[in-house]
Structure 1
């Protein structure tokens, strides 16, 4: 795609000594190019307040993308959690899609302290992502909620979270972390796996703490997330869970990513329709 732009984000040193990205990259991450322009969805900003914001945290500000209706009041809030490629144009576009429907959507750049994934190869991205502590992610999402509340335009009692791949796993974890979450939608996030000191638990390990209903959207042809692992999580959630799973039999991993060859239009559109119905059914509308 010839018109894709990449900008190296600026960095600052926080008061705790972290080197922090202070701005978001434009365009798409290097690791996902070339972008599939023929299927890429582009949502305009007409009628929206949309752009980069700075989220205050205990270790200094980090960048995020926010989109919401112009002049909106008492807006429901959806936290949008990135893939491993950072807050690039697709994640920003998802935020704008929510904003067009009357939501405030915020996507935090969760890798801001650990490195710049925008100009990185897959081999370079993996160690950056591995260095991001789950505790930091939970804290940054809490900070995004506090930022939204302080804006005066958002009703944070109507809080939801959705995420893709890396962010799908985070969606389950945050639903366990924050009792204020009313609904979650996890797109093909892994639910079991190896543990590390920085990632000490997976969704299956915190299943007993997940009180909010989470909708899991998965691909039956996903080579990295076996359907059997979803069955394990279902069992751990227990018979009384309000969470549900939808598996699209022929869909691969990242079937919602309209800028990648993995995109499957039918599954992506059906999943989005189910997401919106899930939000409404659980009071986030």
Structure 2
């Protein structure tokens, strides 16, 4: 079980909570920010933090929906529409600012060490944006939405980025996937992995969307990626 800390927004508009899980003994080898889906900091996101802590990382999941309503926590299997309604209301630039504030807080918690990020769905998009707009040390995005519309920022990606792309993603159509490959396959800092025939959410911690074999494969790739670039 983790605990909750408060982080001050960069614009001074208030504080937001973040769930933090630390490895036993407290000697984290690096920090990883876990960037939420549209479902908020729910049981799955907390469990991902706990799993990363068992792997020796300090894991921290900021509540990026705090400007809409603090503490939103939805079930992907039963509250999808409620979650989708939040997406257009979310200020993504403010979200990136809150991720930047979280990077600073995480670096302090690991005594100036490296900080990575892993995000899912909306969080996968934000992981890409963080790679282009912040000094994050390494980022991973699972089934990030709308990345094809952000390819103009790819020149700004200076540190390693990995993206997991299910080829039957109902929220990322084939044309968007092709654009991602066309725009990023030759990028020296970016690695893309396709998961044939799988849909959005295949690596969720809990629920009906999870595909055990593919989630294990993707998470293994992410683990090796962070071991190479954060430790």
TM-score (norm 2): 0.88
In structure 2, distance between residues paired with 1:252 and 1:74: 33
For 1:205, what is the secondary structure of its paired residue? helix
TM superposition shift of 1:240: 4.1
Alignment equivalent of 1:220, drawn from 161, 167, 179: 167
Does the Cα contact within 8 Å between 1:160 and 1:279 map onto a contact in 2? yes
Change (3 A) 1:155 1:274: farther
Q: 1:110 corresponds to which residue?
A: 64
Does the Cα contact within 8 Å between 2:21 and 2:60 map onto a contact in 1? yes
Which sections of structure 1, spanning at least 5 residues, go unmatched? 1-44, 194-201
Map 1:59-78 → 2, pairs under 5 A: 59-73=13-27, 75-78=29-32
TM superposition shift of 1:131: 2.0
Structure 1 residues 88-97 or 221-230, which shifts more?
221-230
Structure 1 residues 237-246 or 271-280, which shifts more?
237-246
Map 1:30-69 → 2, pairs under 5 A: 45=1, 50-57=2-9, 58-69=12-23
TM superposition shift of 1:166: 0.7
For 1:162, what is the secondary structure of its paired residue? strand
- Root mean square deviation, CA, Å: 2.1
TM superposition shift of 1:186: 0.6
Alignment partner of 1:244 is 2:191: yes
Change (3 A) 1:181 1:52: same
In structure 2, distance between residues paired with 1:253 and 1:84: 13
In structure 2, distance between residues paired with 1:237 and 1:260: 31
Alignment partner of 1:168 is 2:120: no
Alignment equivalent of 1:265, drawn from 197, 209, 212: 212
Larger Rg: 1
TM-score (norm 1): 0.72
TM superposition shift of 1:156: 4.3
Does the Cα contact within 8 Å between 2:118 and 2:141 map onto a contact in 1? yes
Q: 1:33 corresponds to which residue?
A: none
Q: 1:34 corresponds to which residue?
A: none
Change (3 A) 1:191 1:182: same
Aligned residues: 225
For 1:221, what is the secondary structure of its paired residue? coil
TM superposition shift of 1:106: 0.6
Map 1:105-254 → 2, pairs under 5 A: 105-115=59-69, 117-118=72-73, 121-151=79-109, 154-178=110-134, 180-192=135-147, 202-237=149-184, 239-254=186-201
